[in-house]
């Protein structure tokens, strides 16, 4: 079947079997392999993408459900410019919030959704937001620190946008 | 989390849109050993640009899915291939008989008494665990391959399964392997002065402990893409592995190829933890079919395959007795341990590594007069054992540290006092312990005292007195040492078929003055692309930003046994340091000529060679060697700016990092819930190459250890069926499960390693089950309840509470 997907601001028409998950469509049809396959049953969060700004499990959603539907954002859509890191991505590097990098796209997508709706999350808010994303390497502490750091930097940027753009 | 005792310099990073503003000149200058620099590998991961096996596609590629055994133990009566015309996209169905010339996987221990197994690539006559591959199905998509697998009919005759290791050795149990005499790969024994030592013991405690079978559960599963290169007559396999060179050796053996005909590429790998330290039957099968069909073949493990066919670690039992004198001195320990090694001996570590380790590492960081231990690698109808982070140490530490608390209880001593009485003191270092382990350096009692101070024992005890209701507070300790980077002599003694020797590295100054470093180990989260660059900086003054660390490809890198055994920082680090130093000597000779100075006066720093204030950049040196040799004298060293060297420590007995963990728990006696309120780790990794990365390794390990302690278990029913087939059933720790964790570093240099560094990668996962169980037992001590098994699920905790309360009611009535 044909599906119209809007991903990272671009429109795509793909031809897939009806049973194709959004995850497989993103990876196999659109070659957006930054969204990772973890458990394929909705627990680990490695495949998290944004659908109209809300984090969803792309392994639990069919491509057909995104047909002419929500605007999908993947990790590839978060970078501010080619070769650059967003503030959240940079904070993950700074705080060592990643090791093998496999859960990382899902974590960053989840973190960006949190910081979009809550500019001043406390530690509990952050823990709550990422507790549906599994990481087997970091033990989470440094991920929480990374999101705290990102929140702080986003607040600074928003307080003085001209400086941040330099 | 907070960090103590460490400085975290923050460095600018080119190419990022955000720069930190806390950069200092000192921090910017220091990029070598000891600097918490940002990781080089992060950029691609953060942008979703990593390249994992599942991201690789090839023209004409076929996906492979397996029909796996639904039974734990059965004879194969027949296999019926489906009618190919009835299915779409079908490319082929292959059974054992189709794998012409392929031999099964054999990993024999050299220890006497070992019973060998052959792990078939596809099961031929018999299946020996649920999830064992029987039929390989190829199709144009993974989904179609799975459809095809569904359509294959396998007719099995079930045999009684050997599920429980405590009864597996009974003579009436069916044998897993027909030629065996009992269901055990190996039994190892040691007895050092045991009978003499126990005379006059004032306290004797006898305990039974058990640790559950686990899945390692890296978020990326295993997988491979195999393709045959007709031009090179070479099989290339991209594989999610920790040890590409070992996989290459194993594949060459199973497929009857020359080594030169096999190239293994481990691209980005999404976590390993030991799960990817193995030669896979699936890799052999993919390799064979890629050659046979001359088409690329891909297999990607799914989570259900991992959980049901890959639960392969940590299952131990201990019957252990501790003997102590009245003053708390440990006189001796006696132990009979069983390790559930599953159905086959895995390549390369064999089925015996853990059991063989138990008999030598059980005494831990303590002195004792006598020691007796028997450990059996038991065979069962479960997936074959692999060493999970910490290997046998997590179970051994659990048994030993719970016995320590039990002895303390008998003698009326505090947990910290009995440990202090028995730890090897710093004044005795280096120290050879009762099982001939050579502790290279350290101050174990200081680690304990720092932990006692940081967790604030007095405050916890005061708080504990106030909690007298149904929610109790407990404090637990665990202290242990971890042998890492141990080499030939140690592994030869353990009998494993893959004995590591010299670790090699290549350092090459390229014509533009960058440094290329090639290593046979693989980095999959450990940050070696960063730390090895820091080491090169230490020797050559080259900017770590101008160091390319090449790893994961047998065509590009020198042979290595790979990434395991907490060995990379010491072994690959030592090799890179030695190779870089060798290149450094050659740079000095050229620079000396260019600067008209003596080579011994040349100092390498900040990307240049200095003679006093005169300098020549590494770029100029490289350019001179490669492109302007007319500027060099005839006597120049013809080996150039490239060196491959082998490195090992002398002696090769390994570095001993150590750590003390302390945890405060609250136990809800009505719910059986264990909450972690505070967690302190004092650890000594020797000299830290990158403290930020050390923190990450320790924290990640600790959280895996918390999983072992509280959550993770693959239960099997009486017929050998694994009962947790999703991550909803197999609970991995999530952020909400983790308390704030404080890490305090000590940095006692190892006298053995090049920079004083010690292996620390596995350490974090060793201590938590012991520390948390001791804390739970401390909380429940006044009601007489005691946990002896992990994970300490609410069900298990409630059971020991109920048993203790029933006992006390009986006593009253």
Closest listed residue to residue B397, CA positions, set B767, B777, B773: B767
Helical (H) or strand (E) element with B223: strand B223-229
Percent of the residues in chain B that have a pLDDT greater than 70, as a whole number: 96
Inspect the interface and report whether the beta carbons of A81 and B17 lie closer than 8 Å: yes
Within 8 A of A47 by CB-CB distance, chain B residues are none
Domain boundaries, given as residue ranges, for chain B: 1-20+423-486+653-713+727-813, 502-647
In 3D, which of B555, B93, B498 has the Cα closest to residue B279?
Answer: B498
What is the pLDDT at residue B413?
98
Does the pLDDT of residue B571 top 50, yes or no? Answer: yes
CA distance B465 to chain A (A): 29
In percent, the amount of chain B with pLDDT more than 90 equals 92
Average pLDDT over every residue of B5-9: 35
pLDDT of residue B11: 31
**Inter-CA distances, B297 with B79, B225, B401, B406, Å:** 23, 6, 48, 55
User: For B264-285, what is each residue's pLDDT tens digit?
Assistant: 999 999 999 999 999 999 999 9
pLDDT for residue B14: 28
pLDDT of residue B326: 98
Which of A26, A102, A103 is the best mutation test for B, with the most CBs of B within 10 A?
A102
Task: Give the nearest partner residue to B46 out of A92, A135, A153, using CB atoms.
Answer: A92
Chain A closest CA to B331's CA: distance in Å? 38
What pLDDT sits at residue B9?
32
Which residues in chain A have their CB less than 8 angstroms from residue B38's CB? Answer: 93-94
Q: What number is the average pLDDT over the span B464-492?
A: 94
User: Are the beta carbons of A98 and B45 separated by less than 8 Å?
Assistant: yes
List chain A residues with CB under 8 Å of B764: 139
**A142/B16 CB distance under 8 A:** no
Instruction: Say whether pLDDT at B2 is over 80.
Output: no
Which tokens hold the place of B324?
């102590």
**3-state DSSP call for residue B254?**
helix
- For chain B, give the mean pLDDT: 94
Tens of pLDDT, residue by residue over B761-785, are: 999 999 999 999 999 999 999 999 9
The whole-number pLDDT of residue B635 equals 87
Q: Which structural domains are found in chain A, ordered by start? A: 2-78 (3.10.20.30), 87-164 (1.10.150.120)
φ and ψ at residue B675, rounded to 5 degrees = -105, 135
Which pLDDT value is given to residue B86?
Answer: 66
* pLDDT band, very low/low/confident/very high, at B498 (cuts 50, 70, 90): confident
Q: Determine the residue of chain B that is closest to A103 in CA distance.
A: B219
Cα torsion angle, B209, B187, B107, B528, sign = positive
Task: Name the closest residue on chain A to residue B56, using Cα atoms.
Answer: A33
pLDDT along chain A (166 residues), means of 10: 97 97 98 98 98 98 96 92 87 98 98 97 98 97 98 92 48
**Of residues A96, A128, A135, nearest to B692 (C-beta):** A96
**Alpha-carbon gap: A22 to the closest alpha carbon of chain B (Å):** 14
Confidence tier at B433 by pLDDT (50, 70, 90): very high
CB atoms A99 and B13 under 8 Å: no
Select from B48, B689, B712, B728 the residue whose CB has the most chain A CBs within 10 Å, as the one to mutate to test that interface. Answer: B48
Single out the residue of B805, B796, B742, B803 nearest to residue B773, CA to CA: B796
Query: Any CB–CB contact under 8 A between A60 and chain B?
Result: no
Weakest-pLDDT range from B90-104, B487-501, B705-719: B487-501
Question: Predicted confidence band at B89 (pLDDT cuts at 50, 70, 90)?
Answer: low
Level-2 CATH architecture, domain B502-647: 2-Layer Sandwich (3.30)
Q: Which residues of chain B lie closer than 8 angstroms to A25, CB-CB?
A: none
Comparison of pLDDT for B10 and B256, the residue scoring more: B256
H or E element at residue B696: helix B691-706
A48 close contact with B: CB closer than 8 A: no
- Gap between the terminal Cα atoms of chain A: 46
Q: Looking at residue B812, what is its pLDDT?
A: 85
Interface probe, candidates A18, A31, A139, chain B, greatest B C-beta count within 10 A: A139
- Going from the C-alpha of A99 to that of each of A93, A102, B268, B389, B793, the distances in angstroms are 10, 8, 11, 15, 29
Six-digit token pair at B511? 């014509």
- Strand-pair partners of B317: B210, B338
CB half-sphere exposure, A85, CA atoms < 13 A: 25
Please report the pLDDT score of residue A83 as a whole number.
73
pLDDT of residue B497: 83
Facing B38 at nearest CB: one of A38, A94, A131: A94
* Fold observed for domain B1-20+423-486+653-713+727-813: Aldehyde Oxidoreductase; domain 4 (3.30.365)
Tell me which DSSP letter residue B513 carries: S
- What pLDDT is stored for residue B447 in this prediction? 98
A with B: how many residue pairs have Cβ under 8 Å apart? 192
B646-672 mean pLDDT? 97
Instruction: Say whether A96 and B695 touch across the interface (CB within 8 A).
Output: yes
For the segment B50-83, what is each residue's pLDDT rounded down to a tens digit? 999 999 999 999 999 999 999 999 999 999 998 7
Q: Is the predicted pLDDT of residue B519 greater than 60, yes or no?
A: yes
Query: Which of B220, B524, B700 faces A138 most closely, judged by CB atoms?
Result: B700
What residues of chain B lie within 8 A of the CB of A102, using their CB? Answer: 50, 52, 218-220, 268, 270-271
Bridge partners of residue B199, in order along the sequence: none
For the complex shown, is ipTM > 0.95?
yes
Digit-coded pLDDT (tens) for B435-460: 999 999 999 999 999 999 999 999 99
Closest CA to B528 of B552, B498, B499, B502: B552
Please give the structure tokens belonging to residue A151. 């929140």
Asked if the domains at B1-20+423-486+653-713+727-813 and B502-647 fall in one CATH topology, the answer is: yes
The reported pLDDT for the residue numbered B87 is: 65
Contact B47 A104 (CB under 8 A): no
Contacts for B416-422: CB closer than 8 Å, 24+ residues apart: B416/B448, B416/B452, B416/B457, B416/B477, B417/B328, B418/B324, B418/B328, B419/B366, B419/B448, B419/B477, B419/B479, B420/B445, B420/B448, B420/B449, B421/B327, B421/B328, B421/B329, B422/B328, B422/B329, B422/B330, B422/B366, B422/B367, B422/B368
Q: How many CB atoms lie within 10 A of CB B78?
A: 8
* Closest residue on chain A to B743 (Cα): A141
- Which chain A residues are within 8 Å of B695, Cβ to Cβ? 96, 142
Two tokens, residue B716: 């099997």
A106: CB partners within 8 A, 6+ apart: A35, A36, A38, A44, A45, A46, A47, A48, A133
Interface with chain B: mutation pick from A47, A98, A136, highest number of B CBs within 10 Å: A136
Distance from CA of B698 to the nearest CA of A (A): 9
- The tens digit of pLDDT for each residue in B135-192 reads 999 999 999 999 999 999 999 999 999 999 999 999 999 999 999 999 999 999 999 9
pLDDT at B16: 24
Give the pLDDT band (50/70/90) at residue B286: very high
Confidence of residue B88 (pLDDT cuts 50, 70, 90): low
Residue range B580-606: mean pLDDT, rounded:
97
Q: Which residues of A touch B545 (CB under 8 A)?
A: none
* Cβ of residue A37 closer than 8 Å to a chain B Cβ: yes
Task: Identify which of B45, B217, B736 has the shortest CB distance to residue A131.
Answer: B736
Q: Where are the alpha helices (DSSP H) in B208-332?
A: 244-255, 281-293, 303-309
- Percent of chain B that is helix, strand, coil (3-state, to 5): 30, 25, 45
Among B23-32, B243-252, B688-697, B749-758, the minimum mean pLDDT is found in B23-32
- Which residues of B fall within a CB distance of 8 Å from A136? 217-219, 271, 273, 700, 704, 732
Give the separation between CA B83 and CA B512, rounded to whole angstroms.
60
Task: Specify the pTM.
Answer: 0.95
Q: What is the per-residue pLDDT across B197-210, written as a single tens digit (0 to 9) for each?
A: 999 999 999 999 99
Cβ distance A93 to B43 less than 8 Å, yes or no, reads yes
Q: Which of A50, A74, A79, A100 to probe by mutation at the B interface, max B CB count within 10 Å?
A: A100
CA gap B314, B210 in Å, rounded:
10
């Amino acid at each position: 079947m044909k599906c119209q997907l809007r991903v990272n601001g671009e429109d795509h028409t793909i031809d897939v079997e009806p049973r194709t998950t959004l995850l497989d469509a993103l990876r196999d049809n659109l070659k957006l392999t930054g969204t990772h396959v973890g458990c394929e049953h909705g627990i680990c969060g490695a495949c998290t993408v944004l659908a109209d700004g809300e984090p969803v499990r792309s392994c639990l959603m069919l491509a057909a459900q995104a047909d002419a539907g929500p605007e999908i954002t993947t990790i590839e859509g978060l970078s501010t410019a080619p070769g650059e890191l967003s503030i959240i991505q940079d904070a993950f590097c700074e705080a060592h919030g990643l090791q093998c990098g496999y859960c990382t796209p899902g974590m960053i997508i989840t973190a960006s959704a949190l910081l979009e709706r809550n500019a001043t999350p406390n530690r509990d808010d952050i823990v709550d937001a990422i507790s549906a994303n599994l990481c087997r390497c970091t033990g989470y502490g440094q991920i929480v620190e990374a999101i705290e750091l990102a929140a702080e930097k986003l607040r600074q940027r928003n307080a003085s946008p001209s400086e941040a753009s330099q | 989390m907070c960090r103590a005792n460490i400085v975290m310099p923050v460095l600018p990073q080119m190419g990022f849109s955000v720069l930190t503003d806390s950069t200092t000149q000192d921090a910017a200058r220091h990029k070598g050993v000891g600097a918490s620099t940002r990781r080089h590998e992060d950029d691609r991961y953060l942008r979703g640009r990593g390249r994992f096996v599942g991201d690789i596609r090839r023209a004409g590629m076929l996906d492979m899915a397996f029909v796996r055994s639904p039974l734990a133990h059965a004879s194969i009566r027949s296999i019926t291939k489906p009618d190919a015309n009835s299915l779409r996209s079908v490319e082929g169905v292959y059974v054992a008989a189709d794998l012409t010339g392929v031999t099964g996987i054999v990993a024999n221990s050299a220890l006497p008494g070992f019973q060998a197994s052959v792990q078939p690539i596809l099961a031929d006559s018999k299946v020996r665990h649920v999830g064992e591959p029987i039929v390989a199905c190829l199709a144009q998509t993974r989904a179609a391959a799975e459809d095809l697998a569904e359509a294959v009919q396998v007719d099995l005759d079930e045999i009684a399964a050997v599920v429980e290791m405590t009864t597996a050795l009974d003579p009436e149990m069916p044998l897993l392997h027909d030629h065996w005499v009992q269901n055990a790969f190996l039994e190892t024994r040691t007895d050092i002065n045991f009978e003499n030592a126990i005379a006059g013991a004032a306290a004797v405690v006898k305990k039974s402990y058990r640790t559950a079978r686990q899945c390692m559960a890296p978020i990326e599963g295993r997988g491979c893409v195999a393709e045959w290169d007709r031009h090179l007559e070479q099989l290339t396999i991209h594989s999610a592995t920790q040890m590409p060179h070992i996989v290459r050796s194993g594949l060459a053996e199973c497929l009857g190829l020359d080594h030169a005909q096999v190239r293994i590429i481990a691209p980005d790998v999404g976590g390993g933890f030991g799960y990817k330290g193995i030669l896979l039957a699936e890799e052999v099968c993919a390799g064979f079919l890629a050659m046979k069909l001359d088409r690329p073949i891909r297999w990607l493990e799914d989570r259900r395959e991992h959980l049901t066919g890959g639960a392969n670690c940590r299952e131990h039992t201990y019957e252990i007795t501790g003997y102590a004198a009245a003053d708390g001195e440990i006189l001796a320990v006696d132990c009979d341990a069983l390790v559930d090694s599953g159905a086959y001996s895995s390549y390369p570590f064999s089925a015996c590594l853990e059991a063989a380790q138990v008999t030598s590492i059980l005494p831990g960081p303590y002195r004792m007069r006598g020691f007796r231990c028997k450990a059996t690698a038991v065979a069962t109808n479960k997936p074959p054992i692999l060493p999970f982070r910490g290997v046998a140490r997590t179970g051994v530490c659990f048994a030993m540290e719970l016995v320590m608390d039990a002895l303390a209880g008998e003698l009326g001593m505090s947990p910290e006092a009995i440990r202090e009485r028995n730890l090897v003191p710093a004044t005795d270092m280096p120290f050879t312990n009762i099982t001939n382990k050579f502790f290279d350096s350290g101050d174990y009692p200081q680690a304990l005292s720092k932990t006692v101070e940081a967790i604030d024992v007095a405050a916890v005890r005061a708080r504990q007195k106030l909690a007298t209701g149904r929610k109790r507070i407990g404090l637990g300790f665990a202290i242990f040492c971890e042998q890492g980077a141990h080499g030939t002599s140690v592994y030869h003694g353990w009998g494993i078929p893959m004995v590591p020797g010299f670790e090699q590295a290549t350092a090459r100054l390229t014509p533009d003055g960058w440094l290329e470093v090639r290593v046979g180990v693989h980095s999959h989260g450990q940050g070696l692309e960063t730390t090895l660059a820091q080491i090169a900086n230490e020797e050559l003054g080259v900017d770590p930003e101008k160091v390319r660390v090449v790893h994961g490809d047998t065509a590009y890198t020198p042979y290595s046994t790979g990434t395991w055994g907490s060995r990379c920082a010491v072994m690959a680090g030592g090799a890179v340091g030695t190779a870089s130093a060798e290149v450094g000597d050659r740079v000095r000779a050229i620079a000396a000529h260019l600067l008209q100075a003596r080579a011994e006066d040349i100092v390498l720093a900040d990307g240049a060679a200095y003679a006093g204030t005169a300098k020549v950049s590494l770029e100029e040196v490289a350019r001179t060697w490669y492109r302007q040799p007319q500027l060099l004298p005839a006597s120049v060293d013809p080996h150039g700016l490239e060196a491959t060297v082998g490195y090992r420590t002398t002696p090769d007995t390994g570095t001993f990092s150590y750590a003390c963990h302390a945890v405060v728990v609250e136990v809800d006696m009505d719910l059986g819930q264990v909450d972690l309120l505070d967690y302190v780790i004092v650890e000594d990794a020797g000299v830290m190459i990158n403290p930020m990365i050390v923190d990450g390794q320790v924290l990640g390990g600790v959280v895996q250890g918390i999983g072992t302690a509280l959550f993770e278990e693959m239960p099997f029913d009486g017929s050998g069926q694994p009962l947790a087939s999703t991550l909803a059933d197999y609970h991995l720790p999530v952020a909400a499960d983790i308390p704030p964790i404080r890490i305090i570093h000590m940095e006692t240099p190892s006298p053995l390693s090049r920079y004083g560094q010690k292996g620390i990668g596995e350490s974090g996962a060793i201590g938590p089950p012991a520390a948390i169980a001791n804390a739970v037992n401390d909380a429940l001590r006044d009601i007489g309840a005691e946990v002896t098994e992990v994970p300490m699920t609410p069900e298990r905790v409630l059971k020991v509470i109920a048993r203790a309360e029933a006992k006390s009611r009986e006593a009253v009535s």
